[in-house]
Amino acid sequence: MKATKLLTTASVGALLFGMSAAAYSAEWRYAHEEFEGDVQDVFAVAFKEYIEENSDHTVQVYRFGELGESDDFMEQTQAGILQFVNQSPGFTGALIPEAQIFFIPYLLPTDEETVLKFFDESVAINEMFPELYAEQGLELLKMYPEGEMVITVDEPIRTPEDLRGKNIRTMTNPLLAATYRAFGASPTPLPWGEVYGGLQTNIIQGQENPIFWIESGGLYEVSPHLVFTGHGWFTTAMMANQDFFDGLSEEDQQLVRDAADAAYDHTIQHIQGLAEESLAKIQEASDEVTVTRLTEEEIQAFRERAPQVEEEFLEMTGERGQELLDQFKADLEAVDGE
Ligand code: 6CS
């Protein structure tokens, strides 16, 4: 009886720390928010391949729907059931308020080269965010952009007034809701699993996402009017359970960091040109789709509502938010001037 109990305790321990009970070749679990071939999956598969090619460890990748919604597998990671997770600030913003900085509209430029340089070199991204995630028991390994945000709606819109009365789905963080309120819409926070059905049944009349996801999730079928407002980028983050990471040998910690670096480089290559390819696929698949690119003057009407969202960000995050925002802006200026 005692022996069985000991064995059970050992296997639970092994499960928690992602180790095989037999030899030291670990079996790690990694969950992300997307489907096969999508950007987070490209990252996860590249990470898995690097680990498996350079060690005896294996990585099991779980895609959207296999372990629940994003918040479910974040909880599983914090509990140590999963070793790695890719969760976007759109959802983490409820847990780490400072992560909502990505939802201050017009903070990031639309120019892809500048954005990519920013993610590579930013002190806010690469030094300040890891400390904020660590407070939640998470070892932040990478933050990376997936694509420019595009709004899809039930009819073409050009002004904040056109958004009045429309329920626009947002990811579940309060600042993104503030952004859409500022844009004139009625924000409706929902987890991903409810978006397609919500658009189909007209509970929501629009949403925002990068084009590859509008294509891959078939959102254009139920929300066919694409509007380029240039207000932000979909950003995501890949991390490990911190106790698990701290418990690894130095060699394995380096392996994990190198795998995250390799996956990042591969994913950044992958996203270049992806929006254009996805838009072409959408236009081939549907005659109903329209594409509206706002003029600079039209964008200005949205942009001038950004300061009130920045204000709300600072109300939610205080001094720490101010420090992060200052650094974020300094980092952007540094890459802009290069
Ligand atoms: O809108 C969302 O909820 C989803 N969008 C993307 C691009 N990835 C995953 C996320 O759940």
Residue 139 pairs in a beta bridge with 240
Q: 33 CB under 6 A from ligand 1?
A: yes
Rounded Cα distance between 146 and 136, Å, is 24
The answer to whether residue 323 is domain-embedded is yes
Q: What is the pLDDT of residues 141-197, one digit of tens each?
A: 999 999 999 999 999 999 999 999 999 999 999 999 999 999 999 999 999 999 999
Query: Which residues, 6+ apart, have CB-to-CB distance to 49 below 8 Å?
Result: none
22 C-alpha to center of ligand 1: Å? 38
Q: What is the pLDDT of residues 232-288, one digit of tens each?
A: 999 999 999 999 999 999 999 999 999 999 999 999 999 999 999 999 999 999 999
The answer to whether residue 298 is domain-embedded is yes
Model confidence at 15: pLDDT above 80: no
Q: 38 CB under 6 A from ligand 1?
A: no
CATH number for the domain spanning 194: value is 3.40.190.170
Range of the domain at 307: 9-337
Residues composing the chain: 338
The answer to whether residue 3 is domain-embedded is no
Rounded Cα distance between 208 and 234, Å, is 9
Residue nearest to atom 3 of ligand 1 (CA): 192
The answer to whether residue 4 is domain-embedded is no
Q: 70 CB under 6 A from ligand 1?
A: yes
Indicate the top mutation candidate among 173, 209, 222, 235 to test ligand 1's pocket, ranked by most ligand atoms within 8 A of CB. Answer: 209
Rounded Cα distance between 189 and 179, Å, is 12
The answer to whether residue 261 is domain-embedded is yes
Here the tokens at position 26 are 């670990």
Query: Which runs of E-coded beta strand occur in 178-281?
Result: 186-189, 206-210, 225-228, 233-241
Give the atom of ligand 1 at the shortest distance from the alpha carbon of 33.
Answer: 9
Q: 145 CB under 6 A from ligand 1?
A: no
The whole-model pTM stands at: 0.93
The answer to whether residue 183 is domain-embedded is yes
The answer to whether residue 83 is domain-embedded is yes
Q: Which residue has the higher pLDDT, 10 or 149?
A: 149
Domain count, the chain: 1
